[in-house]
Structure 1
Amino acid sequence: MGFAYTPGLTVADYTVVRAVRRLPLKGEVLVKVGQKVQASDIVAQTNLPGEVRTVNVASKLGLAPEELAECMLKKEGDPVEDGEPFVRSKGFFGLFKSELKAPLKGTLESVSSVTGQVILRGPPTPLVKRAYAAGTIVEVQEGESATVEVRGSLIQGIFGVGGEANGTIEIVVDSPKQVLDADRIKPDHKGKILVGGSLV
């Protein structure tokens, strides 16, 4: 049975909750329906696109945009290292050549003969989704999400600060009306989720 303490918030001795662990873009789901998972288990993963740097090469080297292609030392899709030259002007009678170095490690994504700009992209950033709670996988959307079914007690909070976290729940007050003061928080509470009363 659940009890409402604040409109929309519930405290229940026993309930069933389904948590959808969804990737922000297409990736790989690593679990199957019926599989048991722990809170720390990775259920899905993907790679977020790397940082983009746009370099106005034509302006920096004094080139016409249509001259850019013949000055490139790298072609679209080539990897580049941080500080590696990727374009070099032809200079004047082969003299006074100028070059630009990559501002990051990544890939040369595009070369525009219209704007004279080159786009470089940094390496992708791995992103993982963990189960967040111990339970059973009850639904999988390939490349997108996994749904974890959790059975147990439920205490909803009003708001959260920071990213996701998990830990053992411990009630540290004697009633919902009691104020949670510093004296009730002990060293062995570190890493736990503490349930307080009316105020902190």
Structure 2
Amino acid sequence: MPMMLPTHHILPLTHLRRLRMLTEKGRVLVRSGQTVEATDIIAEAPAPGQHLLLDVRKALGVQRVTDAERLIERRVGEQVEKGDILAQTRGLFSRILRAPVPGRIAAIYKGQILLEVASQPYRLLAGLPGRVAEVFPERGAIVETHGALIQGVWGNRQSNNGVLTMLAETPDAPLKPEVLDLTLRGSVIVGGICYQPEALKMAAEIPVRGIILGSLSAPLLPLAASLNLPVILLEGVGQIPINRLAFQLLNTNQKRDVYLLATWNPRLSEKPEIVIPLPADGKAPEEAVEITVGQTVRLALPPYAGNIGKVIQPHTSWLQRSGQRLPAAEIELENTQRVTVPLFNLEIIA
């Protein structure tokens, strides 16, 4: 029986097809074959509105519910603008209750008005420059493009694009506050490792358009997750340098436009991605490959996390120290060290 492994993409040129879908039914704004930019809206859906409860009795100074309801001048379902009169008393010293914001009268009950606040629809962006390959009515579309692709292992679920700027001269170079300044505004910056919160905060203040790191100290994960710009880790948590293949690919594409898609779902085997569009055609990557001698692999878990190596020999059954037998492979790392690791610790670089 063939031993299949997931792939980890580090590709200088490939053909990407990315599904962009609404979570609820909405309206698709593009057609099949249409050219789109990353910031183009491809679909939109109504966003759930907020509600305000307005107490007519308190606002108008009346005691009885029946009096309050008699003074209301709007009906359920009516649209109102900011400043529109909702209810009022008559006479010389009249009181007026006005709509504080635009919205819709959702309900009237016991002298109170429930106002559903008008909200902007949720807009789904293309995320990548490319072509609409397929449209799914009321849901979204597939956007395809050609370019370099590097997958990471963690992202903060933001997306953006900018000019790729290498701040790391080596794969393990730390990202420090002193290398950041206003000239980096609009850039996607690359650092090796990061253990200083000040570096992340300063990058956000400039602001840069995105951050690519090999790894990040564990205490900084909440800060990275809260930033209003994409952060992608290529290797994981700790002090793990960027692997050689990814570092070389980033280095050779300096000053190109790069797109960070830090939205991902590990339960669906999705990974955060770095995409560099290129004016050439590539072929679609494989998502699962049979392990064979000579393949380039990435080790995903400690103590060799982030290391790149070559498959020397797959093993259908390997006895661990715990006494458990697992499928495994003997790997020669780039430093010529040979290790045997379970297959669940390996990803094919493809």
Q: Could you tell which deviates more after superposition, 180-189 or 121-130?
A: 180-189
1:129 aligns with 124
1:44 aligns with 43
SS at match of 2:107: strand
Q: Are the counterparts in 2 of residues 59 and 116 from structure 1 also a CA contact under 8 Å?
A: no
Q: 1:104 aligns with which of 83, 101, 104?
A: 101
SS at match of 2:159: coil
* Superposed counterparts of 1:22-171, under 5 Å: 22-58=21-57, 61-88=61-88, 98-112=95-109, 115-160=110-155, 163-171=158-166
- Establish whether residue 193 from structure 1 lines up as the match of residue 188 from structure 2: yes
> Residues 42-71 of structure 1, C-alpha deviation per residue, up to 9 Å, x if partnerless?
212334244321123346544544555432
SS at match of 1:167: strand
Q: What's the CA shift for 1:26?
A: 3.1
Q: Are the counterparts in 2 of residues 49 and 125 from structure 1 also a CA contact under 8 Å?
A: no
Q: What's the CA shift for 1:87?
A: 1.6
RMSD after superposition: 3.6
Q: Are the counterparts in 1 of residues 69 and 111 from structure 2 also a CA contact under 8 Å?
A: no
- For 1:98 and 1:107, how far apart are their aligned partners in 2? 22
Name the CA shift for 1:96/1:138 in 2 (closer, same or farther; >3 Å): same
Q: Are the counterparts in 2 of residues 53 and 119 from structure 1 also a CA contact under 8 Å?
A: yes
Q: What's the CA shift for 1:181?
A: 5.7
Q: What's the TM-score once normalised by structure 1's chain length? A: 0.70
- For 2:163 and 2:176, how far apart are their aligned partners in 1? 20
- For 2:180 and 2:54, how far apart are their aligned partners in 1? 54
Q: What's the CA shift for 1:27?
A: 2.6
> Residues 148-176 of structure 1, C-alpha deviation per residue, up to 9 Å, x if partnerless?
12332122344445842112435554553
Q: What's the CA shift for 1:129?
A: 2.1
- For 1:147 and 1:162, how far apart are their aligned partners in 2? 19
In structure 2, give the amino acid aligned to 1:82. Answer: K
- Number of aligned residue pairs: 189
> Residues 86-131 of structure 1, C-alpha deviation per residue, up to 9 Å, x if partnerless?
12357xxx7876542322232322212xx43211122231442221
2:322 aligns with none
Q: What's the TM-score once normalised by structure 2's chain length? A: 0.44
1:3 aligns with none
SS at match of 1:70: helix
1:4 aligns with none
**Where in structure 1 are there 5+ consecutive unaligned residues?**
1-6
* Superposed counterparts of 1:10-21, under 5 Å: 10-21=9-20
- For 2:123 and 2:10, how far apart are their aligned partners in 1? 30
Q: Could you tell which deviates more after superposition, 59-68 or 71-80?
A: 59-68
Higher helix share: 2
- For 2:41 and 2:155, how far apart are their aligned partners in 1? 22
Q: Are the counterparts in 2 of residues 45 and 126 from structure 1 also a CA contact under 8 Å?
A: yes
- For 1:186 and 1:96, how far apart are their aligned partners in 2? 60
Q: Which has the higher contact order (CA 8 A, sep 6+)?
A: 1
Percent identity over the alignment is 30
